[in-house]
Amino acid sequence: MPKKFDQEAKDRVVRLVEDRILVESISTQEACKIVAAKLGALWHAARQWTQARSTRSACCGINA
Protein backbone atom coordinates (compact mmCIF):
# COMPACT_ATOMS: atom_id res chain seq x y z
CA MET A 1 0.00 0.00 0.00
CA PRO A 2 1.41 3.43 -0.93
CA LYS A 3 2.47 5.89 1.74
CA LYS A 4 0.28 8.90 2.41
CA PHE A 5 2.07 12.23 2.58
CA ASP A 6 0.48 15.22 4.26
CA GLN A 7 0.71 18.66 2.65
CA GLU A 8 3.65 19.65 4.84
CA ALA A 9 5.66 16.64 3.65
CA LYS A 10 4.79 17.37 0.02
CA ASP A 11 5.87 20.99 0.44
CA ARG A 12 9.16 19.81 1.93
CA VAL A 13 9.78 17.51 -1.03
CA VAL A 14 9.07 20.34 -3.48
CA ARG A 15 11.43 22.72 -1.62
CA LEU A 16 14.19 20.11 -1.61
CA VAL A 17 13.69 19.39 -5.32
CA GLU A 18 13.79 23.09 -6.19
CA ASP A 19 16.91 23.61 -4.06
CA ARG A 20 18.66 20.65 -5.66
CA ILE A 21 17.84 21.99 -9.16
CA LEU A 22 19.30 25.40 -8.31
CA VAL A 23 22.41 24.18 -6.50
CA GLU A 24 23.40 21.32 -8.79
CA SER A 25 21.94 22.56 -12.09
CA ILE A 26 20.25 19.23 -12.79
CA SER A 27 16.94 18.39 -14.41
CA THR A 28 13.68 18.24 -12.51
CA GLN A 29 13.49 14.50 -13.14
CA GLU A 30 16.94 13.83 -11.69
CA ALA A 31 16.28 16.06 -8.69
CA CYS A 32 12.99 14.27 -8.04
CA LYS A 33 14.67 10.87 -8.23
CA ILE A 34 17.35 11.89 -5.72
CA VAL A 35 15.04 13.60 -3.22
CA ALA A 36 12.26 11.01 -3.43
CA ALA A 37 14.67 8.14 -2.82
CA LYS A 38 15.95 9.80 0.35
CA LEU A 39 12.45 10.48 1.70
CA GLY A 40 10.75 7.23 0.72
CA ALA A 41 8.49 8.70 -1.95
CA LEU A 42 8.06 7.76 -5.59
CA TRP A 43 9.90 10.09 -7.93
CA HIS A 44 6.77 10.38 -10.09
CA ALA A 45 4.86 11.75 -7.11
CA ALA A 46 7.65 14.23 -6.34
CA ARG A 47 7.56 15.38 -9.97
CA GLN A 48 3.78 15.82 -9.87
CA TRP A 49 3.96 17.84 -6.65
CA THR A 50 6.73 20.03 -8.11
CA GLN A 51 4.83 20.59 -11.36
CA ALA A 52 1.63 21.38 -9.47
CA ARG A 53 3.40 24.09 -7.50
CA SER A 54 4.96 25.52 -10.68
CA THR A 55 1.55 25.62 -12.35
CA ARG A 56 -0.05 27.24 -9.31
CA SER A 57 2.72 29.83 -9.14
CA ALA A 58 2.51 30.63 -12.85
CA CYS A 59 -1.26 30.93 -13.12
CA CYS A 60 -1.95 32.64 -9.82
CA GLY A 61 1.21 34.65 -9.22
CA ILE A 62 1.91 32.74 -6.03
CA ASN A 63 5.43 32.20 -4.71
CA ALA A 64 4.37 29.35 -2.44
**Where in the chain are the domains?**
7-58
Q: What is the DSSP letter of 37?
A: H
Provide the H-helix boundaries in 1-64: 7-24, 28-39, 43-60
Q: Is the pLDDT of residue 3 over 60?
A: yes
Cα 20 to chain centroid distance, Å, stands at 10
- Does the pLDDT value for residue 1 go beyond 60? no
Q: What are 11-58's pLDDT values in tens digits? A: 999 999 999 999 999 999 999 999 999 999 999 999 999 999 877 676
